[in-house]
Structure 1
């Protein structure tokens, strides 16, 4: 029987042969086409495939990595690949959902030791969102490789911000392995107001920013959104053959409740319902693809949220909800008509009878949308066009700023 290390050596040997054979191409299984003939994932490679660009910076260094299940090279964990190539990985920093990606949204993650490699894992979620000086003192360089989905409230961007701060404060080099943004083809939503900053929104950017984490890292540094930002030793390793217009399907789900392409495309719009009493399908097989409530009168589907891995205590647990299914939404249509779709939250508000209880009492909707007037706009009966007009000016200003930091067409 092969040992764990022997198995990884054989796998990485095959991986290196793969690089030599087709250095900048993906396997045919990733090159697919839609009925309309659109090609996606065509030759698009995340930056972690470009080993020759970042391995020299890790040689003879003590390395910390910020990774999760999407941090793979071909089909092998980046950590395993680095270890076999002789990189001295000493610490794994894990974001929301954990290193293996099975924790619920918002679930407390404890520090532990990886059972396969023996490397210590430090959680960057909960009370310890930012690496401490003590946690960084025995490291020389941090390698950051997280897969974002293009929404401001997806917390991996906030993790990037705090890692940048920590590296700057402790004089550590930061290398960001960039990844394609599956929602990178549009920009929409209100720009975050200062009085709504939180871990699900730190920066003055719209809900859908249309940038990769590498580009956002450059923006955070360039705009001085961390103290003494010019001193940060930051290096971005680019994706290969990616454009913002590219259709890119993630080979690994980025978090437990984003299981497929439709859920990821719908996520920025459907996630606004997290600030309400409406279920968006957590605890079902179709999170972010259905929404509803037991009180709805009009509906086209029913579902019952259950306690399952990745959603142990979903809203409306064990209650049959009546609502609407987006499971068969056209991906081509979603991409050809991009934008933050407010119809789902407006429709839910209309369907829900107890208007005073629709929004959660903790005002979570303010943190999600990024301002304190969106709720009042809905309650006053404003339509989608009127609401979007109210954020248009700042959104256009962001689009101009965004151009300074784009790495891809």
Structure 2
């Protein structure tokens, strides 16, 4: 595994006098951010822009073009990416308020093509290349409308790049915003990409991005007997690693099988720690619209394997939950799921759901089962509450459903996780790139 950290040293040694430095673009975040308003442009058709600055700005891997463009020149390149695979433009926000934090950006594919890089194909994960498919919806092969580059689905019949698809590829680039949760399938896509690259002797370049749930490790650890695309490795539900770090672990722990090792190069994030607050400027998938949904996703994601709707079919995804089977006298928040962007057929479509609104929840640093347990206890249809197969693959174990059905408290359940969490933390420490 190669880790590229120092731009000037790397370029001086490897590409002396052959490469023009590109300007590095900064993304800032955290409590020390300053917002400096720019003067409005005389062209009133253009949005007011604001400049975001910090003393030591966080810089994602994709923005460090000076480090990776030389590695791609004169090669046939494939991209594993989606709508989050972008390079952010310096200091530009498309509204007067940072609460929308819609930073102006250029898609990685467009940037590489404009820099003369030969991008021969794109591999698209769950939700597709532009991020518009439902969770679990098959993603079809096609062509990118803007560039005409072929798009090959990695979420459908074939979740792994085939040897045939890689015949004309010299190097693979992986650049996707993850959220650090085991049942978020982008790390499963990473596994299969690494496996295929290893089998076909193709190096993998990872442009690292922050993990917005990187500040903690928690939840039940997956048992290999319940391995699936929703969880492939024996890790806790929330693993506290970036994609770059996770790829190192997949290699180091031998999870690719058959003694395979993938040749990986990581372009690391500048000025990042696992405790850095990071707000993804682009929603990572259709049903994670904001920071609150991303933070609550590990806890509310368990509802995917139950009769409870977790906000799909609203614009409050993974910030609310409800069901017609929860009593009004206990749950006074009501809503009606309807088809929308990312949820063509939401659970309990068109029905009034009684539940809870969690949008005011403070940022969490643990998995919270209290809402799940409470919903089970109060459900008027307990026999239909769990979809056992789906719940088990989300939990990574059969134990959790049994514990809830047997009346265990959240505190009692969490105690059964602790030894596995401590064991994982020791393994994880071997692969960290950031403090």
Same fold (TM over 0.5): yes
Query: What is the Cα deviation at residue 215 of structure 1?
Result: 0.4
Unaligned runs of 5+ in 2: 1-19, 36-52, 89-104
Q: Does 1:394 align with 2:420?
A: yes
Query: What is the Cα deviation at residue 403 of structure 1?
Result: 0.4
State how 1:236-251 maps to structure 2 within 5 Å.
Answer: 236-251=266-281
Cα pair 1:31 1:42 within 8 Å, conserved:
no
Query: What is the Cα deviation at residue 33 of structure 1?
Result: 7.3
Q: Distance in 2 between matches of 1:248 and 1:301?
A: 30
> Which structure dedicates a bigger proportion of its chain to helix?
1
State how 1:150-229 maps to structure 2 within 5 Å.
Answer: 150-229=180-259
Q: Report the counterpart of residue 348 of structure 1 in structure 2.
A: 375
Cα pair 1:222 1:230 within 8 Å, conserved:
no
Q: Does 1:281 align with 2:307?
A: no
Query: What is the Cα deviation at residue 350 of structure 1?
Result: 1.3
Query: What is the Cα deviation at residue 228 of structure 1?
Result: 4.8
Query: What is the Cα deviation at residue 227 of structure 1?
Result: 2.8
Q: Report the counterpart of residue 398 of structure 2 in structure 1.
A: 372
Deviation per CA, 1:268-299: give whole Å up to 9, x if none. Answer: 00000111000101000101000011122211
C-alpha change, 1:110 and 1:246, in structure 2 (3 Å) is same
Aligned residues: CA RMSD? 2.1
Query: What is the Cα deviation at residue 207 of structure 1?
Result: 0.1
State how 1:139-150 maps to structure 2 within 5 Å.
Answer: 139-150=169-180
C-alpha change, 1:391 and 1:41, in structure 2 (3 Å) is farther
Q: 1:43 aligns with which of 57, 61, 64?
A: 57
User: Normalising by the residue count of structure 1, what TM-score does the alignment of the two structures yield?
Assistant: 0.89
User: Normalising by the residue count of structure 2, what TM-score does the alignment of the two structures yield?
Assistant: 0.84
C-alpha change, 1:301 and 1:42, in structure 2 (3 Å) is farther
C-alpha change, 1:357 and 1:368, in structure 2 (3 Å) is same
Cα pair 2:29 2:278 within 8 Å, conserved:
no
Q: Report the counterpart of residue 7 of structure 1 in structure 2.
A: none
Cα pair 1:30 1:42 within 8 Å, conserved:
no
C-alpha change, 1:49 and 1:397, in structure 2 (3 Å) is same
C-alpha change, 1:345 and 1:42, in structure 2 (3 Å) is farther
Q: Report the counterpart of residue 25 of structure 1 in structure 2.
A: 26
C-alpha change, 1:255 and 1:231, in structure 2 (3 Å) is closer
> Which structure dedicates a bigger proportion of its chain to strand?
2
Q: Report the counterpart of residue 345 of structure 2 in structure 1.
A: 313
Q: Distance in 2 between matches of 1:80 and 1:292?
A: 41
Q: 2:411 aligns with which of 366, 374, 385?
A: 385
Q: Distance in 2 between matches of 1:374 and 1:380?
A: 10
Q: Distance in 2 between matches of 1:386 and 1:33?
A: 43
Q: Report the counterpart of residue 157 of structure 2 in structure 1.
A: 127
Query: What is the Cα deviation at residue 40 of structure 1?
Result: 9.2
